[in-house]
Structure 1
């Protein structure tokens, strides 16, 4: 992609995050206005609103892949990697709460999270099983439980009693998920 086309694409996606966070039903024209480009430019880059939303999801998947890399799921002690990955996921999700909620309301057919993200988390859960941190040997089941717990913790209101123990929102949600995952999947608690 040419540099100017790439800049236009970046501006459009940045604008879409801002506009959709404010109004999930905003028009492509409003997104174009926010990006400072013509509506035709948005339509050339994205065949439909659905394609634009899927591109936003792809950007989030790239950030989740970066979180997998930063948490070193393949080399760090597995419980430490689980904690760090969960922390990075909540940092990302809470920083972009409005746009992620808007995307959820809009719906999409894109596989989310992307298969590469799921594979990285499966690798981590395989390592957790190998070290006895969890007793469930099905990595795919463990990932489903983990993603469900992240979703549930993400949707808790900030004043939920389950989050009262943490010094901040990210830490409280991370602690809740990690404790729940290790408890639910039959492992040893962190630090035991």
Structure 2
């Protein structure tokens, strides 16, 4: 899993340090969004000066954290092969993958800075991929022919958001929630008319 892009590539040990800091920041900030850089350094097992050397400010650290989570979000969607897998398979796999990212990186996924071009670019790419997938779902008959793919996508995002709030702690729980999200999207909650 690549780290956020910087002006120059990091050595392997420096990359491990940055990753440890980002992972610690996610854990610490999830518990206490006001936690200090010192607390994050302690959780990462590094000196406070190491955190400050890698991240000029708390805002820079949060931007890097959001960028990293965004990259994982993109990878989760891409791994579902939304353009080539059968649409129902792609929808389920994207759902399970994205839920895993949202649960593991909940603070970072909610901390998207408005002035981070990389975050905005990746979100635009993911939005385009999801729009294509929802058009495919409609075209193969998994969504009604009169379904607005944009509306369906927004409903789907809301379902994922709510499912992630349950914070499943095992792969089986994530898979069950993914199944519930997809079933709710494709079949709704109302009773089905008798044949």
Shorter-normalised TM-score: what interval?
A: 0.7 to 0.9
CA contact (8 A) 1:11 1:35 kept: yes
* TM-score (norm: length of structure 1): 0.73
Corresponding residue for residue 156 of structure 2: 146
- Aligned partner of 1:81 among 84, 87, 90: 90
Corresponding residue for residue 173 of structure 2: 169
Q: Residue 5 of structure 1: CA displacement?
A: 4.0
- Measure the CA separation in 2 of the matches of 1:87 and 1:122: 18
**2:101 counterpart of 1:92:** yes
- Measure the CA separation in 2 of the matches of 1:134 and 1:143: 11
Corresponding residue for residue 28 of structure 1: 37
Structure 1 unaligned regions, length at least 5:
159-166, 185-192
1:116 aligned counterpart, secondary structure: helix
Q: Residue 88 of structure 1: CA displacement?
A: 1.6
Root-mean-square deviation over aligned CA pairs: 2.9
CA contact (8 A) 2:80 2:94 kept: yes
- Aligned partner of 1:133 among 133, 136, 142: 142
CA contact (8 A) 2:99 2:178 kept: yes
- Measure the CA separation in 2 of the matches of 1:28 and 1:116: 32
- In the TM superposition, 1:1-192 aligns within 5 A as 1-3=9-11, 4-94=13-103, 96=104, 99-101=105-107, 104=110, 108-109=113-114, 114-135=123-144, 136-156=146-166, 168-184=172-188
Corresponding residue for residue 163 of structure 1: none
CA contact (8 A) 1:61 1:117 kept: no
Structure 2 unaligned regions, length at least 5:
1-8, 189-195
- Measure the CA separation in 2 of the matches of 1:29 and 1:126: 47
Between Structure 1 and Structure 2, how many residues are aligned?
Answer: 172
- Measure the CA separation in 2 of the matches of 1:93 and 1:56: 13
CA deviation string 1:89-123 (max 9, x = no partner): 223333x2xx515864x674365772222222112
1:75 aligned counterpart, secondary structure: coil
- Measure the CA separation in 1 of the matches of 2:97 and 2:141: 24
